């Protein structure tokens, strides 16, 4: 009987999944935003798929993610269970806030998702097409006001690059930064600004209702099932895509980094993650390892140049 009981206990123990170490994921933003949604989606998928038995999410908002980034670097060095989400907005925020820490102080793991911006105008706007917007911008740059997210963020960068691409001095762009998508939406609907530029999710309901007219998206390809043209299709040779990433703590070993990479690869190839992407309308932009390190360096260099063009960075 004792042997049978021992065998049953061993068998039962073997049937329990061998979870990786528990993770804590910092979202360096307030609850509800894109980084918070990314962190909590990772939490959901990692637990549902048995990648980790317990995943906790913490929020540290402020200064485009740089407050959370600094706290993460200072408090998590050498901790292989600590992760932080970030993205394109953080690249710009590090520069515009003259942050003492940057993405060079963490261990980049992978780019996860991306989304295009969309350029919209009120339904009663005289601007019917991208060509109309280009003409108005060339005629009087300051008369075209753009509503979008934080100064130096992807929306601001896209507006500045749009101007530069069509031959307008990007320092002349009249960009009005809003702290939340709801405030930018209200400004566009109220006719307080000429155009709005943000992620599709911020404007999608009003586009579908007909209160807003979408002129173009900024991505490399049309969104699935969408009739909204890309800027390239509309004659402006420009692609700007917001992306989100996950990084690990500084000071971890190569073996620890490899374990985290393997867990993230399991995450992004899982059925739960794919379902989350479809539900939220996020594009799968998974890129890891040396390829991601190289792309991140390229994006930081390009963003620095753009922010200097716009006049936000000296």
* pLDDT tens per residue across span 74-104: 999 999 999 999 999 899 999 999 999 999 9
Res. 116: pLDDT tops 70: yes
Strands 23-27, 82-87: pairing is parallel
Number of neighbouring beta carbons within 10 Å of residue 252: 21
Task: For residue range 169-180, list pLDDT tens digits in order.
Answer: 999 999 999 876
Say how far apart CA 265 and CA 159 lie, in whole Å. Answer: 34
Per-residue confidence (pLDDT) for residue 261, from 0 to 100: 97
Res. 291: pLDDT tops 90: yes
Decide: 91 and 103 in contact? Cβ < 8 Å.
yes
Res. 3: pLDDT tops 80: no
Decide: 79 and 96 in contact? Cβ < 8 Å.
no
Label residue 15 by pLDDT band (50, 70, 90): very low
Strands 145-148, 195-199: pairing is parallel
Res. 290: pLDDT tops 60: yes
Mean pLDDT (the chain) is 91
Say how far apart CA 7 and CA 274 lie, in whole Å. Answer: 39
What secondary structure letter does DSSP report for 230? B
Task: For residue range 188-240, list pLDDT tens digits in order.
Answer: 999 999 999 998 888 989 999 999 999 999 999 988 788 999 999 999 999 99
Name the more confident of 131 and 97.
131
What secondary structure letter does DSSP report for 228? P
pTM assigned to the model? 0.82
SS3 call for 160: helix
Say how far apart CA 253 and CA 80 lie, in whole Å. Answer: 8
Res. 283: pLDDT tops 50: yes
Res. 47: pLDDT tops 70: yes
Number of neighbouring beta carbons within 10 Å of residue 259: 16
Res. 9: pLDDT tops 70: no
Of the listed ranges 6-20, 50-64, 92-106, the one predicted with least confidence: 6-20
Task: For residue range 56-66, list pLDDT tens digits in order.
Answer: 999 999 888 99
Say how far apart CA 152 and CA 313 lie, in whole Å. Answer: 9
Based on the number of CB atoms within 10 Å of its own CB, is 125 exposed (0-12), middle (13-18) or buried (19 or more)?
middle
Label residue 5 by pLDDT band (50, 70, 90): very low
Per-residue confidence (pLDDT) for residue 8, from 0 to 100: 44
Label residue 311 by pLDDT band (50, 70, 90): confident
Res. 254: pLDDT tops 50: yes
What are the start-end ranges of the H helices in 26-129?
Answer: 34-48, 66-76, 88-96
């Amino acid at each position: 009987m004792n042997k049978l009981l021992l065998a049953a206990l061993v068998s039962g123990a073997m049937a329990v999944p061998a979870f990786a170490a528990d993770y804590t994921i910092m979202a360096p933003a307030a609850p509800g935003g894109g980084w918070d949604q990314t962190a909590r989606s990772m939490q959901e998928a990692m637990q549902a798929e048995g990648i980790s038995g317990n995943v906790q999410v913490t929020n540290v908002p402020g200064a485009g993610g740089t407050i959370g980034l600094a706290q993460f670097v200072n408090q998590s060095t050498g901790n292989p269970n600590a992760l932080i989400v970030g993205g394109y907005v953080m690249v710009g925020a590090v520069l515009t806030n003259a942050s003492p820490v940057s993405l060079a102080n963490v261990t980049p793991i992978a780019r996860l998702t991306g989304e295009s911006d969309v350029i919209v105008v009120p339904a009663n706007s005289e601007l019917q097409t991208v060509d109309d917007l280009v003409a108005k911008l060339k005629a009087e740059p300051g008369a075209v006001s753009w509503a979008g997210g934080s100064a130096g963020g992807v929306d601001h960068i896209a507006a500045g690059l749009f101007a530069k691409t069509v031959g307008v001095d990007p320092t002349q762009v009249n960009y009005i930064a809003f702290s939340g998508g709801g405030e930018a939406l209200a400004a566009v609907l109220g006719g307080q600004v000429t155009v709005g530029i943000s992620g599709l999710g911020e404007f999608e309901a009003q586009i579908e209702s007909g209160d807003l007219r979408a002129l173009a998206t900024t991505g490399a390809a049309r969104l699935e099932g969408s009739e909204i043209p890309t800027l390239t299709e509309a004659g402006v040779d420009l692609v700007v895509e917001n992306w989100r990433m996950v990084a690990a703590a500084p000071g971890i070993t190569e073996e620890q980094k490899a374990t985290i990479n393997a867990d993230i690869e399991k995450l992004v190839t899982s059925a739960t993650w794919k379902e989350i992407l479809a539900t939220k309308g996020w594009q799968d932009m998974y890129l890891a390892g040396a390829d991601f390190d190289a792309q991140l360096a390229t994006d930081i260099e390009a963003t620095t140049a753009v922010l200097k063009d716009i006049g936000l960075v000296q």
